[in-house]
Amino acid sequence: MSQLLIVAAEEAENPLVPPIPELVIGLLAFVIVFGFLAWKLLPNINKVLEQRREAIEGGIEKAEAAQTEAQSVLEQYKAQLAEARHEAARLRQEAQEQGAALIAEMRAEGQRQREEIVAAGHTQLEADRKTASAALRQDVGKLATELAGKLVGESLEDHARQSRVIDRFLDGLDDAASKAEATR
C-alpha cells in the first residue's frame, strides 16, 4: 500500500499543469450548460419575466386609465349639471319676465277695453239723451199747443204768434232743465 502511495506521489505532476483530456471535458461540460441556458431556457424565462412585468404594469396602467376616465366623466357631469342649473335659472327668469309682461299687457288691454266701453256708453247715453230731448221737445210742443188750442180755441191760429209763444215756452223749459241739471 505504501508502495502505491509513493508511486502515486511521484507521479503527482505539477497541479498547475492541466491535463489535455480534462481541458476538453471541462470545455464540453461548460458548453453543455451554456448551450442549453443560452439557447432555450433563459430566453424562455426572460419572455415570462417580461410578460409578468407587462401584466403588472398593464394592470396599473389600466387602473390609471380608468381613474382618468372617471375623473373626466365626473367633470363632464359637473359641467352639465352646472349648465342645466344655469339654463333652469335662465328659463325661470324668462318665464317670470314673460309672465309679468303678459300680466301688464292684459291689464293694459283690460283698461283699454273698459275705457272703450265706458266711452261707448257715454256716447250712447248722450245720443239717447239728445234723441229723447228732441222727441220730448217736439212732443211737449205739440201737446202744449194742443192743450193751449183747446184752452184758447181759435185765438191762437195766428201762426207767427203761435210759434213765438211756443219758443218762449220751450226756452223756459230749457232753462228749468238746465237749472235742474245744475242743482242735481
Partner 1 sequence: MSADPTQVLAFETDCHIFDGCGFPAPGLHSFLFEPLWGDADSNLYFNKTMLLALLGSIIIVGFFWAAFRRPKVVPGKLQMVAETGYDFIRRGVVYETIGKKEGEKYVPLIVSLFFFIWMMNLWSIIPLAQFPVTSIIAYPLVLALIVYVLWVSLTFKRHGFVGFFKNVTGYDKSLGAVLPLAMTIEFFSNLLVRPFTHAVRLFANMFAGHTLLLLFTIASWYLLNGIGIAYAGVSFVMTIVMTAFELFIQALQAYVFVLLTCTYIQGALAEHH
Positions that interact with partner 1 (CB under 8 A): 1, 4-5, 8-9, 11-12, 15-23, 25-30, 32-34, 36-38, 40-42, 44-45, 47-49, 51-52, 55
Triad 100, 104, 108: Cα angle to 5°:
170
> Smaller CB distance to partner 1: residue 12 or 160?
12
> Smaller CB distance to partner 1: residue 49 or 106?
49
CB of 70 to partner 1, least distance (A): 28
Radius of gyration (C-alpha) of the chain in whole angstroms: 67
Q: What is the DSSP letter of 17?
A: S
> Smaller CB distance to partner 1: residue 26 or 110?
26
CB of 67 to partner 1, least distance (A): 25
Q: Which residue has the cell 505504501?
A: 2
Q: What is the largest CA-CA distance in the chain?
A: 210
CB of 3 to partner 1, least distance (A): 11
Collapsed DSSP state (helix, strand, coil) of residue 1: coil
CB of 2 to partner 1, least distance (A): 8
Nearest alpha carbon to residue 123 among 112, 115, 135: 115
